[in-house]
Every structure is written in structure tokens, then in C-alpha cells.
Amino acid sequence: MIVKIDHIGVAVSSIDDAVKLYRDGLGLKIGEIETVEAERVKVAMIAVGESRIELLEPTGSEGAIAKYIEKRGEGIHHLALEVSDIQGMLKVLKEKGIPLIDTEPRIGAGGARVAFLHPKAAKVLIELVEH
């Protein structure tokens, strides 16, 4: 079951530069910045009500975010939906023939279990998140 919009992922070349807008311009609080080695990305979460904005900075030229920025430039990368049972949701989606990138959850930012739907399904990359 989908609980809420968890976050919107935004690919940026520099978290330090992006933070200036969100913190200094918009007055939002920047959460802890962490590196997710497996995804080759540095992540900053910014709370906005009960949802968040996730800034994603590549840590090298080989990760998905680096390739995304190289191909499309900075901007919205994905929409993340919080789910109560990620394993069950993946099973239902697979049964319905919805194309998945991940058939099993992996560990994402903040230690959450995550899985991605293929963007051809919804015309945007969707991340499922179970905290």
C-alpha cells in the first residue's frame, strides 16, 4: 500500500551550490548529508512538511546520477513513494506486468529499503521506499 510521497529526487552537480537556494533562499533545513557508496552518490535530504526533497550529487563519473546529468542535465530525477510493504508491492506490480528495474529491494539512503520501477511504465522514474 502506498503511504505518501516520500521525496522528490533532484540530480545536482553540487550539493553545496544547490543548498544555497533551499537553505538560504527558501529557509529550509538541510538534513544530514550522506554518501551511498553502492549508488556512487552523495545525498542531502530537505524536509518540506511530511515529504522531502532529495538532492543527489554524483561522487564519480560512473554512477547513474552522473550519467543522468551528463545526458539530461540537472533536474528532477525521480518520484519516491513510501510503501508499507515493498516486497508485497513488487510482487503485485510484477503480476500486473509493470516493468521493474529492481525485482528485489536494495538499501538506499538512510538505510531504507528501495526499489525502482522502469520509467517506461509511468514516464518518470518511480522509487518505492520502505522505512
> pLDDT of the chain along its 131 residues, tens only?
999 999 999 999 999 999 999 999 999 999 989 999 999 999 999 999 999 999 999 999 999 999 999 999 999 999 999 999 999 999 999 999 999 999 999 999 999 999 999 999 889 999 999 99
Q: What is the pLDDT of residue 113?
A: 98
Q: What is the pLDDT of residue 96?
A: 96
Residue 22's CB: how many other CB atoms inside 10 A?
19
Q: What is the pLDDT of residue 127?
A: 98
Domain total in the chain: 1
Domain containing residue 82 = 2-130
- Show Cβ contacts of residue 42 under 8 Å, excluding neighbours closer than 6 positions: 15, 33, 34, 35, 36, 56, 57, 58, 59
Q: Which residues pair with 127 in a beta bridge?
A: 80, 116
Q: Give the CATH number, domain containing residue 14.
A: 3.10.180.10
Q: What is the pLDDT of residue 63?
A: 95
Q: What is the pLDDT of residue 37?
A: 94
Q: What is the pLDDT of residue 121?
A: 87
CA atoms within 13 A on the CB side of 100: 18
